[in-house]
């Protein structure tokens, strides 16, 4: 079932999901998406700040519900996940002729160091490393996959690309959800909630998982 963090009691899930699907189908900009959905969210009370019960303490706390920044996060995540899901299906279909995936990080100095270290990792499509480290790997992550044949690999090497054919070691850190108290192990370099393959899991399943975890810095 499609869910959005802090939406309980506001009856907004179908509106948000249908608006996201329409945005994908029609190629809408964020501005068009927001102008359509915001009035309905305001009408149903899912906008601005509210007082809700803290799930850990039972005490009333002020929480941020809908905002333009939060809608932007929901919109961008939806587009990125849809892109990843569509491309993963293509990678599977082309695996016999293009059996490798190359991790590509944007080379502009803004990419987080943990993702930059994954740039040019080349592994088979079905390698278990991609179960955790398939882009996007976090909120606002711009990393992508490139599907490669052996001929592509030979060409990239000839052009001077330093490809890496061994998976980097995987280490984990402990993460605690401050709202629920949930404690789990998260791979280093991956934002909590992104430690899976968004393309393989599919569009709706991925959105269901992620939008329960929009962190405060992206939801204000």
Task: Return the pLDDT at 219.
Answer: 41
Q: Looking at the DSSP assignment, which residues form a beta bridge with residue 49?
A: 64
pLDDT digits (tens, 9 = 90+) for 41-57: 888 888 876 666 666 67
Min mean pLDDT across 25-34, 93-102, 109-118, 205-214 is at 205-214
Task: Return the pLDDT at 52.
Answer: 63
Task: Return the pLDDT at 205.
Answer: 66
Task: Work out the mean pLDDT of the chain and round it to a whole number.
Answer: 84
pLDDT tier at 82 (50, 70, 90 boundaries)?
confident
Task: Return the pLDDT at 69.
Answer: 87
Q: Compute CA 37 distance to the chain's CA centroid, rounded to the nearest angstrom.
A: 21
Between residues 88 and 200, which one has the greater pLDDT?
A: 88
pTM of full prediction above 0.85: no
């Amino acid at each position: 079932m499609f869910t959005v963090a802090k939406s309980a009691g506001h009856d907004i899930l179908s509106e948000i999901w249908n608006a996201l699907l329409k945005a994908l189908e029609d190629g809408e900009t964020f501005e068009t998406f927001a102008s359509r959905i915001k009035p309905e969210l305001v009408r149903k009370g899912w906008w601005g700040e509210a007082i809700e019960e803290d799930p850990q303490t039972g005490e009333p706390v002020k929480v941020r519900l809908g905002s333009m920044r939060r809608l932007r996060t929901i919109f961008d995540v939806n587009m990125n996940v849809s892109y990843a899901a569509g491309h993963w299906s293509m990678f599977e279909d082309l695996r016999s002729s293009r059996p490798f995936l190359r991790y590509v990080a944007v080379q502009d100095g803004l990419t987080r160091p943990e993702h930059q270290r994954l740039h040019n990792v080349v592994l088979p499509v079905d390698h278990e490393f991609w179960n955790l480290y398939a882009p996007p790997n976090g909120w606002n992550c711009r990393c992508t996959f490139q599907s490669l044949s052996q001929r592509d690999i030979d060409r990239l090497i000839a052009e001077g690309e330093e490809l890496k054919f061994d998976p980097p070691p995987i280490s984990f850190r402990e993460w605690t959800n401050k709202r629920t108290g949930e404690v789990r192990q998260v791979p280093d370099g991956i934002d909590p909630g992104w430690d899976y393959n968004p393309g393989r899991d599919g569009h709706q399943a991925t959105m269901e998982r992620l939008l329960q975890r929009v962190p405060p810095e992206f939801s204000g």
